Amino acid sequence: MISALQFLTRPRGYGYYGYAAVSGEWRHQVAQAEGVWPKAVHRVVAEGISPERAIDEAIARMKQLLSE
């Protein structure tokens, strides 16, 4: 039961791997390591925020990461 609760309540990664290798852009790897998109999905499901708000926040975080 504990494992099931942990699995259901924590953000999980999705298959966005390889962008840095394909594009040659190291910042894609930084964004992937941050887990921006899985966190956005998790916030919609677990916290009940609107998908629009989650995406707006994720885009803002991506812009912040990519500008560093």
The reported pLDDT for the residue numbered 37 is: 84
| CA atoms of 17 and 44, how far apart (whole Å) | 22
Which of 12, 4, 8 is CA-nearest to residue 40? 12
The reported pLDDT for the residue numbered 34 is: 84
Q: How confident is the model over 12-65, as pLDDT tens digits?
A: 665 555 555 556 667 777 777 788 888 898 999 889 999 999 999 999 998 888
The reported pLDDT for the residue numbered 58 is: 92
Q: State the pTM of this model.
A: 0.62
